[in-house]
Every structure is written in C-alpha cells, then in structure tokens.
C-alpha cells in the first residue's frame, strides 16, 4: 500500500515509520523541514519525502493522488498558549480538502480520550479535528488515547523528572485524577492493525492499558520501579497557574505545554470500553511493564524518539536550513582553535556534549544560565538530550537545537533556544589536526550588545576550558 504519513518527525511518526516500511508499505513522509528527517537505515527506497506545511494550502499540492491510506498525527498543543486550537482546526481543514482530491480510502487519526461534556481546550481541539476529518470523502478511524508511556514520551519524561528530582512532593489536587495509561508499543500496534481494516472504518475507539490509576499512583509506581522512596502530599489550594509553574520549573516541559497539560489533567481520561482489544486481538500490557520497557530503553541509550525534539518544544519556529549557515556580518564572534591529539576521541567528546555529560568545563555556570533562562520563561537545561552519544539535525541539546551534525566531517552546529536579546550559534569543526570552536552572537538592538559585553568575561573561562577538555 502507498501510505501518507503526517508528523513523520514527531514522537509517534518516527516510531511508526520503520514499522510501516518493514510491513512492505511505501510511505510518503510529510515534513516541514527536510533537514530534520533521517532515513531509517536500509529503507530509503520505500520512503518518499515531501516538504509540507499544513497551514499553507499551496504546499499540500505535493501530496500525490495515488495514495491508499493516511495517518494524521499533527498536533500543535505547545505551539501557542492562545491559538493552538485554531491552528489545529485550520490544518485539519486544509488536509481534508486536499485528501478529498486523492484516491485515499482511509485516514487514521490519533486523538485523546473524551468522556466528559466539559472538556479542556486541548481535548476539545482534538475532538474538533476528529469531526473535521469525519467530513471527508474517505473512511476515518479515530484512536483515542490518554497517557502514553514510553521512553521519550512527554508523560514519561515529566513523571521521570518529578520522581528523580523531588523526594517529597507538595502537589496539586489533580494528582488524584484517574487516567488509563497505555504503552507506546501498544499504541503502535493499534495504529498498524487498524490500517485497511473495514471493521474500524468510520468509527472511534478508546485505547488504554489494563490499569486505571491516579497520577499520584503513577508517580509512586515509577519511584518503585527505580527503587526510590518518594512521598507525595496533595493540597487543594494550588491554582491552575501555580500548578503550571510547578510543572514548568521542576520538569523539562515548556510553560505553554504545562498550562495545556494542567487543564487536561483535571479531567478523568478513562476508556468507555475496550471493544477494540477484541476486535483487533490486542492485549495491552500493564503500566508496570510499560515503565520497565521504557526504563530499559533509556538505560541502553536506545530512545527512538522524544517529544522534546519537536521544534515547538523550544523557541525555534523556522526551518533549520535557514540557520545552518552561521552569519558573520553584524555579529560578535568568540573564535578559538587548538591542535588535537586524537581525532576520533575528540569527535566522540563533541558528540557526547550536554545532557548528563555536561559541558566539560564550568558546568555550574551552565546550570546557573539554565536556571536564569527558566526564570525568564525559557527552556532551561532540563531538556537534556535524546541519546547520549548520537546527534541528528533537529535534536535538542539542553537549551540548544542541533542544526547540523556530520560526524565524518567532524562538524557540529548548534543554535541557542534560550531567552536572548539576539541569536546565538555554537560551532565545532575539525580541519586537519585542528579543532575550531566558535561562539557567534547576532545582537538585537542595544540590549543585545549590552548582553554580549556583560557575559564576555565568562567566555575566557568557559569556552577556553571547554576547548581544552575536548582535546585532552
């Protein structure tokens, strides 16, 4: 079958793509930026790449008419605290308009469980998208999931941050809200088995694991899985705004996403029934087993995708290709170079920078900068990195975004997503037996220039020390 896969660089899309290809399907991947897409090894001949922005109708003309099915995996929840629902509506309408002009027979949509009349903005938006897709000339299958548990999922990473960092939690009362988590592998099985299955056409299904738990129980179960003692106390006086700040400062989530999550977490997300389990012959695993599998992937550094790698998890909103060429005009540049002893070892150190490894020198200063960034509404350092030793264009690396990563060439370019009165790049490149390191800053107005000169005294300390450690 020829399948259209939207959201191909997203958390679900990255994991679904190799499964579809391994089952013999030809997949057309829709991406906003080709520079962020990495072909699964050995599957290049079965994948076609098209660059599309679903908010721009004219780009959708690239979708071929001869497609059999499509997966709609587009969400904009963390894009804007004010109008992400409007963006999701427009994207869905544009998609339906174009798909009606093709031969597509089925569209599969991954949505959220909606079982209350009073829905959060996030869940209302998901339901609205579902209604729009149902207006198409094709059959629509909607799978509604609650909390998805897997290495790199937003839910898993938030739970991990809370449990790892807080031995004692004074938490909002919504931690007593019930939900029905489901393992990421089970979500993928449901997505695959629904494909071209007439029993699922023009229907919606709730999908969930066998356990119905409160968020508090989920946190304590995670602590148990890691052999950690944790104490959680809920208080009724924490307002939604305070709850959002609580999530924002303790976890790696953005404030916009925290706000959307808090409004959703006050509502129970429990499956109405489990008829799809019997229909597709799927038996979802328990929450405990899902945690175990996710933790193993993290420990073995085999996280296939992470929600944090989405462009909307930070302040970066543009195509990466626009920033790969580091500017020189009207910029302040800190250039350094040093001869290397072992090229391979130096590259490995560069490719392991950030996250748990740290920045090799003056890590306490990097931590302070990350804390300051959080105070001003930035991403801070808590995003870390998806994998310990591999880097791809589009990945997050603490408060940086990877623009270019070529290990054979020995070149890595990072773009700052921290709050700045300007734009900043950090570049490493090896030419011959010399490592060149440069920090470039393009200021915006007087404040930008003032910022550069205020941090200049720290550059000699931080960047010189980092360079020395990289080649040691």
Number of compact structural domains in the chain: 2
Do 119 and 29 share a structural domain? Answer: yes
Average predicted confidence (pLDDT) for the chain? 88
Q: What is the mean pLDDT of residues 127-131?
A: 91
Q: Percentage of the chain surpassing pLDDT 90?
A: 57
Q: Are residues 288 and 369 in the same domain?
A: no
Q: In this structure, are strands 168-172 and 231-235 parallel, antiparallel, or unpaired? A: parallel
Among residues 99, 105, 100, the alpha carbon closest in space to that of 141 is found at: 105
The H-or-E segment that residue 436 falls in is strand 434-443
Average the pLDDT over each of 73-77, 186-190, 432-436, 466-470 and give the range with the smallest value. Answer: 73-77
User: How far apart, in whole angstroms, are the C-alpha atoms of residue 439 and residue 423?
Assistant: 11
How many other C-beta atoms lie within 10 A of the C-beta of residue 349?
19
Residue 121 bridge partners (DSSP): none
- pLDDT band for position 299 (cuts 50, 70, 90): confident
State mean pLDDT over 258-283: 85
pLDDT of 373 strictly over 70: yes
Instruction: Give me the DSSP letters along 246-312.
Output: HHHHHSS--HHHHHHHHHHHTS-B--S--HHHHHHT--PPPHHHHHHHHHHHHHTT-----GGGSGG
pLDDT for residue 431 is more than 90: yes
Q: How many helices (H) and strands (E) does the chain have?
A: 13, 19
Q: Please indicate whether residue 316 or residue 369 has the higher confidence score (pLDDT).
A: 369
d(CA 374, CA 255): 9
pLDDT tens, position by position, 438-450: 999 999 999 999 9
In the 8-state DSSP scheme, what is residue 401? E
Q: Are 219 and 230 in contact (CB under 8 A)?
A: yes
Residue at which a domain ends, from 265, 284, 308: 308
From residue 406, how far is each of 36, 389, 427 by CA, in Å? Answer: 13, 13, 12
Whether residues 91 and 214 fall in one domain = yes
CATH number of 362's domain: 3.30.530.20
User: What backbone torsions phi and psi does residue 219 show, to the nearest 5 degrees?
Assistant: -65, -45
| Mean pLDDT (whole number) for 289-295 | 95
Domain of 194? 2-308
Quick one: which of 155, 180, 160, 176 has its CA closest to 285? Answer: 180
Average pLDDT, integer, range 74-94: 76
Placement of tokens 């790892």 in the chain: 164
Same domain assignment for residues 33 and 99: yes
**Pair (359, 423) in one structural domain:** yes
* Confidence at 80, pLDDT banded by 50, 70, 90: very low
The predicted-structure confidence for 312-355, as pLDDT tens digits, reads as follows 555 555 566 667 789 999 999 999 999 998 999 999 999 999 98
Per-position DSSP letters for 105-173, written without gaps between them: -EEEEEEE----SS--HHHHHHHHHHHHHTTSSSEEEEEEES-EESTT-HHHHHHHHHHHH-SEEEEEG
pLDDT band of residue 302 (cuts 50, 70, 90) is: confident
Domain termination residue (choose one: 267, 289, 308): 308
Helix (H) / strand (E) containing 14: helix 11-22
327 with 363, same domain: the answer is yes
- For residues 279 and 260, what is the distance between their CA atoms, to the nearest angstrom? 33
Are 302 and 196 a contacting pair, CB within 8 Å? no
In a shared domain, residues 304 and 324: no
The full length of the chain comes to: 472
CA–CA dist 243, 239 (Å, integer): 6
Are 183 and 278 members of one domain? yes
Task: Give percent above pLDDT 70 in the chain.
Answer: 94
CATH for 21: 3.40.50.720
CB-based burial, 433-457: b 16+ in 10 Å, e otherwise: eebbbbbbbbbeeeebeebbeeeee
Task: Work out the pLDDT band at 253, boundaries 50, 70, 90.
Answer: confident
Check whether 157 has a pLDDT greater than 80.
yes
Tell me: do 324 and 467 sit in the same domain: yes
Q: Give yes or no: residues 247 and 272 share one domain.
A: yes
**Whether residue 350 is found in the same domain as residue 426:** yes
293, 308, 323 - which closes a domain: 308
Per-residue pLDDT, averaged over 278-289, amounts to 96
Per-residue pLDDT at 318: 58
| Same domain membership, residue 246 and residue 370 | no
């Amino acid at each position: 079958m020829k399948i259209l896969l939207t959201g191909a660089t997203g958390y679900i899309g990255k994991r679904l793509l190799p499964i579809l290809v391994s089952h013999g399907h030809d997949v057309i991947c829709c991406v906003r930026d080709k520079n962020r897409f990495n072909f699964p090894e050995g599957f290049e001949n079965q994948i076609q790449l098209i660059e599309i922005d679903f908010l721009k109708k004219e780009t959708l003309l690239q979708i071929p008419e001869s497609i059999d099915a499509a997966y709609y995996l587009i969400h904009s929840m963390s894009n804007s605290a004010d109008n992400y629902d409007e963006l999701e509506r427009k994207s869905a309408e544009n998609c339906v308009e174009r798909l009606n002009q093709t031969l597509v027979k089925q569209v599969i949509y991954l949505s959220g469980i909606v079982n209350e009349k009073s829905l959060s903005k996030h869940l209302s938006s998901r339901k609205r998208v579902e209604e729009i897709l149902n207006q198409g000339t094709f059959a629509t299958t909607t799978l509604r999931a609650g909390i998805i548990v897997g290495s790199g999922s937003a839910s898993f990473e938030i739970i991990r941050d809370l449990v790892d960092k807080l031995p004692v939690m004074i938490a909002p009362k919504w931690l007593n809200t019930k939900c029905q988590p489901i393992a990421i592998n089970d979500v993928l099985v449901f997505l695959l088995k629904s494909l071209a299955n007439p029993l699922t056409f023009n229907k919606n299904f709730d999908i969930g694991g066998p356990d119905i738990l409160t968020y508090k129980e989920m946190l304590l179960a995670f602590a148990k899985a890691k052999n950690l003692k944790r104490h959680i106390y809920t208080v009724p006086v924490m307002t939604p705004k305070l709850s959002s700040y609580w999530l924002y400062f303790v976890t790696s989530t953005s404030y916009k996403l925290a706000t959307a999550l808090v409004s959703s977490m006050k509502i129970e997300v429990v499956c109405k029934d489990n008829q799809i389990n019997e229909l597709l012959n799927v038996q979802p695993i328990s929450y405990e087993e899902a945690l175990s599998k996710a933790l193993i992937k993290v420990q073995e550094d085999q996280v296939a995708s992470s929600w944090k790698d989405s462009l909307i998890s930070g302040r970066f909103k543009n195509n990466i290709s626009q920033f790969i060429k580091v500017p020189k005009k009207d910029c302040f540049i800190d250039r350094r170079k040093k001869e290397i002893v072992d090229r391979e070892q130096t590259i490995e150190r560069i490719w392991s920078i950030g996250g748990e490894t740290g920045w090799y020198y003056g890590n306490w200063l990097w931590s302070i900068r990350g804390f300051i960034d959080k105070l001003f509404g930035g991403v801070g350092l808590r995003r870390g990195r998806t994998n310990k030793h591999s880097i791809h264009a589009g990945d997050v690396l603490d408060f940086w975004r990877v623009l270019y990563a070529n290990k054979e060439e020995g070149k890595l370019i990072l773009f700052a997503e921290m709050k700045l009165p300007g734009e900043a790049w950090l570049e490493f490149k090896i030419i011959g037996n010399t490592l060149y390191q440069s920090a470039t800053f393009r200021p915006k107005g007087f404040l930008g220039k003032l910022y550069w000169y205020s941090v200049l005294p720290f550059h000699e300390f931080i960047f010189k020390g980092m360079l020395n450690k990289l080649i040691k």
